[in-house]
Amino acid sequence: MKRCNKCLYPETTKPFIVFDEEGICSGCRVSEEKQKINWEERSSAIKELIEPYKTNNNYDCIIPVSGGKDSTFQTHYAVKELGLNPLLVTFNHLDNSDVGIRNLENLVIKFGLDHIRFTPSPETIRKTSRHAFYLMGDPFWHEHAGIYTFPVQVAIEKKIPLILWGEYGYMDLMGMYGFDDFIEMSRKNREEHGMRGYSPEKFIEGNKEGLKIKDISWSIYPSDEEIEKIGLRGLYLGNYINWDSIKQTRKMIDLYDFETDKKERTFNIYENAECYFNDTVHDYKKFFKFGYGRATDHASQLIRLGYITREQGLELIKHYDVLEHHEKLIEYLEWIGISLKEWNKKMLEERSPQAMFFSEKGNISTETDSRLRCIFKSNKKLFSGNKRRIL
């Protein structure tokens, strides 16, 4: 399986990446654009851009938040740097960790902001997870559908014409767009990528769970007419900030006591602290189907940011990508009512023919381990015991 000569993304990466004649992936090439951008000019540009949205009688914008590192930073930047009064909005995907709940509560309290949190019916989520598993091999369709849709619904309902997102993940991650494209939120991107190409109507078509469109109303995107009526825009801060999740998370730890959390299938203690199943069920699925896991994502990110070498990244993915953690997988399968046998059968059907992964757990050198300790800063609550919360 071919991997990028600069980072470690393989040819099976989803969404698709391409390699140039030097064997460098499209994501790395777009990431290199950051070095040529005048970020001071872009910082001034976003401040000018949001000025008309400031108001004395309403919320200035919506910020989708989850209890993760990015939503904490987005809120900090909106309030402290842009001088906005945001409404925080959360779609509760039911994949919550105790750390994530504490971070979300801490975020609301520390900033003193209003917050809307919508919790869908757990029974409906069980049904959508089962259906999505058999339909597309991904039982987490509801998470993407809700996270990318519910904040837009709230914006329309409350007539708030601005949503501030973090970074646009498919840009320098996969090289789908460049930084001069200034990509914004769209129905097309949400459906094609976040929702795996399945609109709500298409998703429930012929389902055996008895799901009706009213059951997943939180996944229905507002019409073009509704969006145009209030002039709704969704801006990605990553277009205007030299996005460095390591530096940003350290700052959130120092300023707001953001909690980090150790994960089972990666070395990165900053990512997905809010999720209970993400690093096991979701990531193990990706590893089995495409031959790479979350450790590859995180190592490639650090390589591009200049924190580690490619050789050190290779050590990390050999060690972490191959780890098996069936406890959480079985816990999730029992909750949605699918057997391990059915899971394995579906994964084999969905597996990419190019997928090849390391078969043995590798060793991490003292030098690499020391480097990781320098990169990741923890707080006093680190590894305090993470459990799952449904609500």
pLDDT over 90 at 175, yes or no? no
Tell me if 33 is assigned to some domain: no
Tell me if 230 is assigned to some domain: yes
Tell me if 331 is assigned to some domain: yes
pLDDT over 90 at 391, yes or no? no
Tell me if 292 is assigned to some domain: yes
Where does a domain end: 239, 255, 290? 239
280, 150: one domain: no
Instruction: CATH number of the domain at 105, please.
Output: 3.40.50
232, 273: one domain: no
β-pairing, 61-64 vs 96-97, is unpaired
Tell me if 144 is assigned to some domain: yes
Tell me if 66 is assigned to some domain: yes
128, 183: one domain: yes
**Mean pLDDT over each residue of the chain, to the nearest integer:** 92
Q: Worst-scoring range by mean pLDDT, 47-51, 140-144, 358-362?
A: 358-362
Cα separation, 74 vs 62, in Å, equals: 11
pLDDT over 50 at 383, yes or no? no
147, 101: one domain: yes
pLDDT over 80 at 360, yes or no? no
- What's residue 381's pLDDT? 58
At 105-145, the pLDDT tens digits run 999 999 999 999 999 999 999 999 999 999 998 999 999 99
Where does a domain end: 195, 224, 239? 239
Q: What is the mean pLDDT of residues 292-303?
A: 95
Cα separation, 269 vs 386, in Å, equals: 13
Cα separation, 53 vs 60, in Å, equals: 6
217, 299: one domain: no
203, 296: one domain: no
Domain that holds residue 341: 266-389
302, 216: one domain: no
* Total structural domains within the chain: 2
At 223-272, the pLDDT tens digits run 999 999 999 999 999 999 999 999 999 999 999 999 999 888 999 999 99
86, 175: one domain: yes
Considering Cα of 44, then 49, then 51, then 53, what sign does the dihedral take? negative
Q: What is the mean pLDDT of residues 210-214?
A: 98
- What's residue 14's pLDDT? 81
92, 150: one domain: yes
Q: How confident is the model at residue 385 (pLDDT cuts 50, 70, 90)?
A: low
At 138-157, the pLDDT tens digits run 999 999 999 999 999 999 99
Where does a domain end: 220, 239, 258? 239
98, 184: one domain: yes
133, 57: one domain: yes
Using CA atoms, how far residue 39 sits from 35, 322, 340, in Å, is 9, 38, 49
DSSP symbols for 62-93? EEE--SSHHHHHHHHIIIIIS---EEEEEE--
- What's residue 303's pLDDT? 98
pLDDT over 80 at 15, yes or no? no
Cα separation, 41 vs 39, in Å, equals: 5
Beta carbons of 276 and 264 less than 8 angstroms apart: no
Which residue intervals of the chain are DSSP H helices? 26-32, 39-50, 69-76, 98-111, 122-136, 141-158, 187-189, 200-204, 224-230, 245-256, 283-290, 294-305, 310-320, 326-336, 340-350, 366-375
Cα separation, 274 vs 97, in Å, equals: 5
- What's residue 53's pLDDT? 96
Tell me if 247 is assigned to some domain: no
Tell me if 316 is assigned to some domain: yes
